[in-house]
A and B are shown apart, each in its own frame.
Chain A
Amino acid sequence: MNLELQAQVSAFVLRTAVLVDGDELETWLDCFHENSSYMVVPRENLEAGYGIGLMRCDSKAQLQDRVAVLRHASKFNPHWDRHILSGTAITSAPQDGVVSTSTAFMVVQTQLNGTSSLFCSGSYEDEIEVGAEPRLRKRLVVLDTFTVSNCLATPL
């Protein structure tokens, strides 16, 4: 195993989750390559081969719009998220500086009344451009919890 590569992608994936939990979504956007996609797809669609996602950003511009709409126009349950990650498994050897990884996650959501519950579980299927400053080329969020409690406002 390439320990250096493993350490790099693990730290990077963890950082993306910590930024979401910290509501630093504008900085989170910097984790994405200029040519990248971000999709949250219910597991039932993935298994059936259906293209519909809950969030489907084919470009970074669309992902930036998602964050902008969230900041300016969306109303939803105010909450805090905590991503609990598994280790990050490298699923393919680096090719042209890009590795594929898989990381399981759970998100515990806390409401304003102080109660917490498991909001969802799933996995990040990532393509990461490795190097001094890693960037996501692609993040597919597979949502095992494909029936959403109330709404999915903040990205996963």
Chain B
Amino acid sequence: MPSPISPEIWPARDYSRVPYRLYHDAALYEEEQKKIFRGPVWFVLGFEAEVPNVGDYRATQIGDTPVVFSRNEDGTVRAFVNRCAHRGAEVVRYPSGNAKDFTCIYHAWCYKLDGDLVGVPFRRGANGAGGMPKEFNLKDHNLTKIRVRIWKGIVFGTYAAEGEVEDLETYLGPLMCEHVGDLMRKPIKILGYQRQRVAANWKLYHENIRDAYHGSLLHEFNRTFGMSRLTQVAGGYMDDKHRHSILFQYAGSDSDEVARAAYAENGVQRGDYMTLNDYGITRHFVENKLGISTRIISVFPNIFFHQIYNTLAMRQLRTLGPGEFELVWTLFGYEDDTPELTQHRLNQANMVGPAGLISMEDGEALEMVQRSTQPDTDKAGVVEMGGIGEIRSLDTRAQEVTIRGFWAYYSQLMGLEPAGAQR
């Protein structure tokens, strides 16, 4: 079924209106799987630190396709689609582990760690009868392989052949190389996972991540304790293609007094400000030389990195149909962290994830949007904060231009760019 959506869907060429249909259309979702998640992109599978030893594997999902990455005998990381070439069963059934080979339970077809088919039981038949045809060649039935590149301990993958996608550093661009590179500046240590399922379209999460405006309005903890406020020195930057983005700020660059007056003036704060018994959770030990206290980074198409004070995480988005996605948060520290710093990171993780004091609200906000936009897919949302027209990086959080940047790049990839569009 071809999608009924065409470039004419956009009411404004600067993406300052976002048609609700984009969150609901099932045929569009199918096209996104092909053109984005299997398109000319580098997606992220996970961290090298998750598969340190030969045979270590981890199952994940790219778009809605089950994928596995593993440490091969030669020490390299390999990845393949988790689907037996024979009858299509999942070959790897556990979320992670260590294996000598991958054997499908259905008919025991056996693959090497790199995904090559090496065994087909009763290939020559039984008692001289049956079996595979003579021309059956194992080499033609390997698992579908994904091209892998490791960059600073991150396992990137692509379905695109060389030449069909830029090389990885070019794809990331200087902005991502700087900030993601800084987060990955030394060997990491995995601290654990948090997962949540949100009944909303996956693109709403991309918008949410790029939405500088909501950070201190929806998340009251942020403005109360100054983790993120519109009165701080902050910004929202994108690469030249607006493919990736970063929102950042400097805590302590405003005063409680000025901030509280500004929020009161705008009718936001009602009632008294709360206090805590234990302020340990709001402590920030500056670790990066830029002094940035919070960075929320979007690496198109499936990964978000964050540094919120001393919590570090990669959030992987997995699509589950037009109306649902899963978010898997991988929290990490560094191998050379002191036990005290590790403890602080574990403690500060209370702020993030599905139970996070500054993040639990996002799931609910997106589910509300998904529910209420469904009956009126011919209408559109408004994205004008920070100005309309040109799409550019701004040194403020009172903006949502970065959201328009997402749609500009999305539309190019999807072939939905209207004539005369902003890029």
Contact = CB atoms under 8 A, between A and B. Distances in A.
B193 A150 contact: no
Interface string A22-60: 000000000000000000101011001011111111110
B198 A150 contact: yes
A150 B197 contact: yes
Interface string B354-372: 1101001101110100000
B196 interface: yes
Contacts of B354: 54, 148, 150-152
Interface in B131-173: none
Interface stretch (B21-29, B82-90, B275-283, B297-305): B275-283
Nearest to A50: B192
A151 B197 contact: no
A76 B197 CA distance: 14
Contacts of B363: 150-151
A73 B225 CA distance: 11
B207 interface: no
Contacts of B277: 61-62, 64-65, 68
Contacts of A98: none
Contact of B191 (A52, A64, A148): A52
Interface residues of B, number: 40
A74 B349 contact: no
Contacts of B341: none
A52 B349 contact: yes
Contacts of B224: 73
A57 to B, nearest CB: 8
A85 interface: no
A50 B333 CA distance: 12
A86 interface: no
B367 A77 contact: yes
Given A147-B326, A152-B355, A52 B360 contact: no
B342 interface: yes
A59 B277 CA distance: 10
Contacts of A73: 220-221, 224, 274, 357
B371 to A, nearest CB: 10
A78 to B, nearest CB: 9
B98 interface: no
Interface string A118-156: 000000000000000000000000000011111111000
Nearest to B200: A150
B347 interface: yes
A134 B259 CA distance: 45
B135 to A, nearest CB: 44
Contacts of B192: 42, 45, 48, 50-53
Contacts of A48: 96, 192
Contacts of B194: 42, 52, 54, 148
Given A65-B278, A77-B364, A150-B363, A56 B197 contact: no
A140 to B, nearest CB: 14
B274 A151 contact: no
A53 B347 CA distance: 9
A72 B274 contact: yes
A60 to B, nearest CB: 8
B349 A76 contact: no
B374 interface: no
Contacts of A72: 220, 271, 274
Contacts of B278: 59, 61-62, 65
A52 B357 contact: no
Contacts of B364: 75-77, 150-151
A69 interface: yes
Given A150-B198, A152-B354, A50 B367 contact: no
A145 B107 CA distance: 31
A72 B271 CA distance: 9
A45 B329 CA distance: 12
A91 to B, nearest CB: 24
B95 interface: yes
A45 B193 contact: yes
A74 B355 CA distance: 10
A56 B278 CA distance: 13
B191 A69 contact: no
Most buried by B among A64, A68, A69: A69
Interface in B265-279: 271, 274, 276-278
A1 to B, nearest CB: 36
B346 interface: yes
Nearest to B326: A147
Most buried by A among B192, B224, B277, B278: B192
Nearest to B196: A148
Given A50-B190, A62-B350, A73-B274, 6 more contacts: A50-B193, A75-B365, A76-B361, A150-B196, A150-B354, A150-B367
12 contacts: A51-B191, A52-B346, A54-B194, A55-B355, A56-B349, A56-B350, A64-B277, A69-B276, A69-B357, A146-B193, A148-B194, A151-B196
Interface of A: 40, 42, 44-45, 48, 50-59, 61-62, 64-66, 68-69, 72-77, 146-153
Interface of B: 95-96, 190-199, 218, 220-221, 224, 271, 274, 276-278, 280-281, 326, 331, 342, 346-347, 349-350, 353-355, 357, 360-361, 363-365, 367
